[in-house]
Structure 1
């Protein structure tokens, strides 16, 4: 185990057939479609890429879609075993193809400026700063985002439109009265740009007339359809979009939202419970539990229902306990007769009234 904190840089690889958006120019994640008849042919390009980057002293952040993960997970395991290294971070993201393409390129843009562990942590953070979804006519075959039974039945009705979001939250809603504004869960910081992809020759007039004004975007860029788009959305006809902020500080400021700590084994900076490289579980050091300050009162006792006793009863009981004589003084320690019982005994000549029993005299 190394004792020095790692400051190695990371490079980003996207293990899926997801082309780049081109929005960030030359800052692009390395793409691997993983096509072939067997695991060796599918993983050969990724294996060569990883070997070169490791020889340069860098680590690899391997992204892949969580909903299309089989080939990617096998390729990562194959590379780790063949190269005998744990410098490959396995990061699965549950977002749509267009959103994953943009996030991968954003990570590639940030990776030269932050440690490799922070690059892996930012993969989970960046989807929280975009708005990604699709304009759909049917959601009955949508398996990547939860839907209700009512939404499933509504897919068979004519002239029905749905807005499905996968980032920053997973949500499906029906567009009512041609107004999609109530469906929007959030909106990035101004100025806003939009990337749109759709099947060829699919009509976008309704999308442009209703959703585009609601987003108040300064630009809208149309891109070719993503190859895995129909797999994610479950339909052939859809309009996928990603909304993100074009503010100059929007992307660099996301690095300040990550609070990393040092992995106890590989000494890299990580923010997750499991280190994405070596897989170590990072927990606070064992020791004595923190003590409570004397001026901080203890937490109140847990009380439920009618078992709660009024405060004045508790105070009277405490005062009675303090004023009661101790058995060490020779006085009886059992319950004493009340004032009404004593008067009745005096009137009866020292005998208790019917139904009462005086305390036995002390021996």
Structure 2
């Protein structure tokens, strides 16, 4: 059985893009599931899959994070990896789906868990916002904060890999018009429309980024909280093809964790969190696909 991919919220589960992509297990929070039941759920996942990789947003409530660590401690298990991600909600859901795709390949659980950090650099996650006055996760200038209070103002914001912000209709983006610097490799785009009605991601951004295809998704419930406004439409460009994802991960040098002996990529074990020993050079970043 493939390594189980689990999430802390149903927001992080996108429909599969192919019939081979397995589902993700949703681990209910402490407000809806007792600790004993959560331990039972985790034990059953381990028994069925051998290892579990849990993706938990960096903005998850402290009680949710504490519950994950409590479950792992009570099970006295080294087979549960807790992977934190700073991506916005739709981007995090894309990352989860990519891990689900990779879980059916001949990739060990340690490599799969540590691959999340690598794949994050290839997810271009952003949103169109009606205001940036309360945006905390992306740097915003004082001028943009002031403009964020203007009626009818709209902003295109990219949270990662590199933060960017332009005011739509302002010409801030120079000769190219209102746009954001995008990926230099082939991507698909997923758009989650919210109360802010805009076709900018599909009619303007998609052609400029030369995306291969556009899909629609439901707006995650946590989007308004993450972006600081309910006037939001999220988008994320990503590597859609499993062979490309597999080659990207396979191209990085593998190491063995000196603490738990898990195989990993990068400079930190996804299961125990131990860094590579001091003095060992970290693997060079993979080239763009």
Alignment TM-score, normalising by the size of structure 2 = 0.83
Q: Structure 2 residue aligned with 1:84, among 54, 76, 87?
A: 76
Q: Structure 2 residue aligned with 1:270, among 256, 264, 275?
A: 264
Kindly indicate whether the alpha-carbon contact (under 8 Å) linking 2:171 and 2:177 is maintained by their aligned counterparts in 1.
Answer: no
Q: Structure 1 residue aligned with 2:59, among 58, 64, 67?
A: 67
* Bigger Rg, structure 1 or 2: 1
C-alpha distance in structure 2 between counterparts of 1:238 and 1:262, whole Å: 43
Q: Match for residue 103 of structure 2?
A: 111
User: Is 1:203 the equivalent of 2:197?
Assistant: yes
Bigger relative contact order (CA 8 A; separation at least 6):
2
Kindly indicate whether the alpha-carbon contact (under 8 Å) linking 1:131 and 1:244 is maintained by their aligned counterparts in 2.
Answer: yes
Q: Match for residue 188 of structure 2?
A: 193
Q: Secondary structure at the match of 1:283?
A: coil
User: Is 1:234 the equivalent of 2:228?
Assistant: yes
Q: Secondary structure at the match of 1:125?
A: helix
C-alpha distance in structure 2 between counterparts of 1:281 and 1:130, whole Å: 24
Residues 56 and 17 (structure 1 numbering): CA distance in 2 closer, same or farther, change over 3 Å? Answer: closer
Kindly indicate whether the alpha-carbon contact (under 8 Å) linking 1:14 and 1:62 is maintained by their aligned counterparts in 2.
Answer: yes
C-alpha distance in structure 1 between counterparts of 2:100 and 2:200, whole Å: 34
Gaps of 5+ in 1: 1-7, 287-363
Kindly indicate whether the alpha-carbon contact (under 8 Å) linking 1:28 and 1:104 is maintained by their aligned counterparts in 2.
Answer: no
Q: Match for residue 44 of structure 2?
A: 52
C-alpha distance in structure 2 between counterparts of 1:44 and 1:169, whole Å: 41
Cα displacement (A) at 1:124: 0.7
Kindly indicate whether the alpha-carbon contact (under 8 Å) linking 2:4 and 2:52 is maintained by their aligned counterparts in 1.
Answer: yes
Q: Secondary structure at the match of 2:11?
A: coil
Q: Structure 1 residue aligned with 2:214, among 191, 201, 220?
A: 220
Residues 247 and 87 (structure 1 numbering): CA distance in 2 closer, same or farther, change over 3 Å? Answer: closer
Kindly indicate whether the alpha-carbon contact (under 8 Å) linking 2:80 and 2:271 is maintained by their aligned counterparts in 1.
Answer: yes
C-alpha distance in structure 1 between counterparts of 2:263 and 2:39, whole Å: 25
C-alpha distance in structure 1 between counterparts of 2:34 and 2:158, whole Å: 31
Cα displacement (A) at 1:105: 1.5
Gaps of 5+ in 2: 281-289
Q: Match for residue 12 of structure 1?
A: 5
Alignment TM-score, normalising by the size of structure 1 = 0.67
Alignment RMSD (CA, Å) = 2.8
Q: Secondary structure at the match of 2:103?
A: helix
Q: Structure 1 residue aligned with 2:162, among 155, 163, 169?
A: 169
Residues 213 and 226 (structure 1 numbering): CA distance in 2 closer, same or farther, change over 3 Å? Answer: same
